[in-house]
Amino acid sequence: MEVLFVNGMELTKSGNATPHIGQIILKNIISEKYDTEILSFDNLVAKGEFDINKTPDDLIDEMAEVILEKKPEVVGFYTICNTFHMVVAVSEVIRKRNSDIFIFYGGPHATLTAKKCLETFDFVDLICLGESEKSIMPLMDEIFGKRDFSSVPGVSYRQGNEIKQNPCATLLTNEELTNYTQYDLGGVLKYKDARVLLEGGRGCPYQCTFCSTSRFWKRQFRVKPVSVLIKEMDKYHEMYGLTSFSIQHDLFTANRKHLVSFCNALIEKNSPYVWRCSSRVDVLDHELIELMKKSGCLEIYLGIETGSERMQKIIKKNLNLDNAMDMINFMIRQGIVPTVSFIYGYPDETIEDYEKTLTMLRKVFLTGKATVQLHKFFPLPATEEADKVADRVYFDFEKVDLSILNRAVCGKRCKDLIKQNKELFLQFYTFDSEVRVKYPYIEAVVMLLGMFAGRFYMTLYQIMNKYEIHDIYKRYEDDFEMLFFNYYELVSQSELLDKLEMVLKKIVDNEHNDGWSDIFRFEKAVFDYIASGNKEVVVIDFENDIMAYLKYGKRVKEHTRLMLMREGNGGIKLKRVPVNVSFIA
């Protein structure tokens, strides 16, 4: 094997098998000349072909072993903030085991930390900066040729004791992007119901202070021509029968004219496709949302980031929050599901700002039709927000954001790397602020809201309707702390859900005077019945009239008996029966 591209080093138990668009494009470019393969460890985990039940340090050796077994001459790693330590640790082992292998990096994290990375790790031979389509072939020709990189665009490399950085090639135009479509998503798409990751284009014209996208793509917004996008969708449909698309672009909706013609084209051809994308509320309006829905848009990811007008300005997101709520509500009325994402723990955030975020998050949750996310701010290298705290951060393994570091596979070697190289691993460092000290485990609450929104919506609705999120947090802080610390020790998703359910039950039992226990019991019974596949009739008694609650949202204290039964199509039916009727098994 000549070239091996490596990605997917999260190694979570659930296994994240999404194919990586960038590496597929690069592989396609060089495959005509070089024997090239892509290796995703997360994909192997998902397929049960890479066992992660080993000590974290053994996992590093094991990953290096899998790479070495393929006997590559060149190994290129995709780098992203959350797994950069794994990439570095694995690279070090590879170099020790076989010093002939050329090791190079690409992707956001290495691009944004290139100079420091090459200065620090002598086993990294070269870094490709940013967009790499125009660099990859000349680079390969030099690696397999004279190894004179001086004329390869957009690379940084070591020459003697000096770090050289070549100017980047011009970024791809909308039309040029068209040349880099990857129909065979690495052979991963086998299932008819799979969701295709379709590259919509690149670059976001905004410059939020916590985000690294603007630096990476140089704020140059590009979008693939409508005819090309539709052709790609048709091709996936033709090849695999696929109809569900996830359009990958930080801001697919930035160009109104393009978006309108994309939607109209789908409507005109009466397409069977459904699609999702990311957007900002301030580039949308009612008319556009209606059109998007009509053309098959099912979900829109919205980064609202903060519920405080003051913080909106500080992080340069500059959203009008009344308009944001209006757009969210309008999407819901149209039948589009918004995923609304917030961040807390920014350097300049006060308790007042933060509580405004929680209040807005609660408002969104109470719509009953949106997914909410809350992330802890982490300082991404080369961003404006990170600069504000770079001199007062410290590394505390227990305080790293749950969504950024998979602690279960971060062992001594990786921890040492992180501790010794603050600048390169700033994203795993933390700092104190009044909000971060007062609410250290708040993500666990939002996890509860997110993971249980479908299963226990009415129960959660009752709780959220009565209490502000920060009040609930304070009442059950110890339970949330336990959950947080156990998070990565839990063997499976179902174990995590069981623990979450226990916390929810505790809240419900403590507040039993409101009849919440009945609603909780009802939702649990329905879920368990569905999950069990049970075909027998099940009868359950309640202190309250659950049907009245379901119908009118009102609590009526009256002994009720409900019957759950399976329908012919596998669905379930719910029927109220007189309390004096009993069933003989």
User: Are the C-beta atoms of residues 393 and 433 closer than 8 Å to each other?
Assistant: no
Stretch that binds ligand SF4, among 194-202, 205-213, 460-468, 516-524 (CB under 6 A): 205-213
Q: Is 430 in the site for ligand SF4 (CB under 6 A)?
A: no
Pick the binder of ligand SF4 from 76, 108, 303, 345 (CB under 6 A).
303
Q: Is 280 in the site for ligand SF4 (CB under 6 A)?
A: yes
Residue 242 corresponds to which amino acid? Answer: L
Q: Is the dihedral of CA 318, 263, 214, 391 positive or negative?
A: positive
Q: Is 211 in the site for ligand SF4 (CB under 6 A)?
A: yes
Pick the binder of ligand B12 from 18, 98, 271, 329 (CB under 6 A).
18
User: Are the C-beta atoms of residues 326 and 338 closer than 8 Å to each other?
Assistant: no
Distance CA 246, CA 101 (A): 36
Pull the structure tokens for residue 357.
Answer: 């975020």
Binding-site size for ligand B12 (CB under 6 A) equals: 36
CB closer to ligand SF4 out of 385 and 518: 385
Q: Enter the DSSP assignment of 73.
A: S
Q: Give the CA dihedral 79, 84, 87, 93, nearest 10 degrees.
A: 150
CB closer to ligand B12 out of 91 and 212: 212
Q: Label residues 531-559 b or e (16+ Cβ within 10 Å = b).
A: eeeeeeebebebebbbbbbeeeeebeeee
Closest to 73 measured CA to CA, from 125, 151, 25: 125
Distance CA 11, CA 216 (A): 25
Distance of CA 489 to the CA centre of its chain: 21
Q: Is 462 in the site for ligand B12 (CB under 6 A)?
A: no
* Shortest distance in whole angstroms from residue 277 CB to ligand SF4: 12
Distance CA 505, CA 521 (A): 9
Q: Is 327 in the site for ligand SF4 (CB under 6 A)?
A: no
Q: Is 199 in the site for ligand B12 (CB under 6 A)?
A: yes
Q: Is 436 in the site for ligand B12 (CB under 6 A)?
A: no
> Which residues ranging from 107 to 126 are in contact with ligand B12 (CB under 6 A)?
107-109, 112
Q: Regarding beta strands 337-344 and 371-376, do their DSSP bridges make them parallel or antiparallel, or are they unpaired?
A: parallel
Q: Is 112 in the site for ligand SF4 (CB under 6 A)?
A: no
91 binds, among ligand B12, ligand SF4, none (CB under 5 to 8 A by kind): none
Distance CA 246, CA 386 (A): 30
Q: Is 95 in the site for ligand B12 (CB under 6 A)?
A: no
State the Rg of the chain over Cα. 26
Stretch that binds ligand B12, among 80-88, 321-329, 339-347, 547-555 (CB under 6 A): 80-88
447 to 486: interface string for ligand SF4, x by CB under 6 A: ----------------------------------------
Distance CA 374, CA 4 (A): 36
Q: Is 374 in the site for ligand B12 (CB under 6 A)?
A: no
Distance CA 319, CA 323 (A): 8
Q: Is 25 in the site for ligand B12 (CB under 6 A)?
A: yes
CB closer to ligand B12 out of 215 and 561: 215
Closest to 237 measured CA to CA, from 262, 271, 284, 260: 271
Q: Is 213 in the site for ligand B12 (CB under 6 A)?
A: yes
User: Are the C-beta atoms of residues 310 and 354 closer than 8 Å to each other?
Assistant: no
> Which residues ranging from 522 to 551 are in contact with ligand B12 (CB under 6 A)?
none
Distance CA 557, CA 219 (A): 59
Distance CA 61, CA 226 (A): 46
Q: Is 280 in the site for ligand B12 (CB under 6 A)?
A: no
Distance CA 258, CA 269 (A): 17
CB closer to ligand SF4 out of 278 and 560: 278
Stretch that binds ligand SF4, among 201-209, 352-360, 449-457, 516-524 (CB under 6 A): 201-209
CB closer to ligand SF4 out of 125 and 305: 305
Q: Is 207 in the site for ligand SF4 (CB under 6 A)?
A: yes
Q: Is 222 in the site for ligand SF4 (CB under 6 A)?
A: no
Closest to 151 measured CA to CA, from 476, 141, 58: 141
Q: Is 189 in the site for ligand B12 (CB under 6 A)?
A: no
| Counts of helices then strands in the chain (DSSP H, E) | 25, 18
Q: Is 11 in the site for ligand B12 (CB under 6 A)?
A: no
Pull the structure tokens for residue 161.
Answer: 């004791």
Q: Is 56 in the site for ligand B12 (CB under 6 A)?
A: no
308 binds, among ligand B12, ligand SF4, none (CB under 5 to 8 A by kind): none
483 binds, among ligand B12, ligand SF4, none (CB under 5 to 8 A by kind): none
**Residues forming the site for ligand SF4 (CB under 6 A):** 204, 206-208, 211, 213-214, 250-251, 280, 303
Residues that bind ligand B12 (CB under 6 A): 5, 10, 18, 20-23, 25-26, 76-78, 80-83, 104, 106-109, 112, 128, 131-133, 197, 199, 211-213, 248, 250, 380, 403-404
